[in-house]
Structure 1
Amino acid sequence: MNQKRTFGTILTVLGIVGIIIGAMGFLGVGGIGLGKMNSFVPFLVGLIFFFAGINLVKTTSDRA
């Protein structure tokens, strides 16, 4: 596994975590003290990381 795919995987996992934190903050569960508007920031950053990571993994070719 090369470095680009590893970095893409890390970005994807961080994106999933950001999306989950944003959703939990919006719903007000889990003791995350975010308001409705403030929860959009981690959600949007999570979406950006998620799609950037997926795109990086998908477009990186394997070389033997």
Structure 2
Amino acid sequence: MNQKRTFGAILTILGIVGIIYGALGFMQVAGVVLGKMNSIVPFVVGLIFFFAGINLVKATGDRS
């Protein structure tokens, strides 16, 4: 099993969680209490993790 692809998948999942948390905080639903400006931070970090994970999975070649 390739460790880079696994780490990329973990980063992608963490990115998705960060994006969802930031969006819920921005809309102030589901018990997530964040200000409008404070919800930007998890959203941006989630975007960075998401795109870094996708690029890591895409750039890593399969070895047999």
SS at match of 1:37: coil
Q: Which ranges of structure 2 fall in alignment gaps of 5 or more residues?
A: none
Q: Which ranges of structure 1 fall in alignment gaps of 5 or more residues?
A: none
Between the aligned partners of 2:14 and 2:41, the Cα distance in structure 1 is 14
Q: C-alpha deviations, 1:45-64, integer Å up to 9, x for none?
A: 00000000000000000000
CA RMSD of aligned residues (A): 0.4
Q: Report whether the alignment pairs 1:45 with 2:42.
A: no
The percentage of aligned residue pairs carrying the same residue is 78
Structure 1 residue aligned with 2:2: 2
Q: Report whether the alignment pairs 1:16 with 2:7.
A: no
Q: Report whether the alignment pairs 1:34 with 2:44.
A: no
Taking structure 1 as the reference length, what is the TM-score of the superposition?
A: 0.98
Taking structure 2 as the reference length, what is the TM-score of the superposition?
A: 0.98
Counterpart residue identity of residue 30, structure 1: A
Q: C-alpha deviations, 1:21-62, integer Å up to 9, x for none?
A: 000000000111100000000000000000000000000000
* Alpha-carbon shift at residue 2 of structure 1 (Å): 0.3
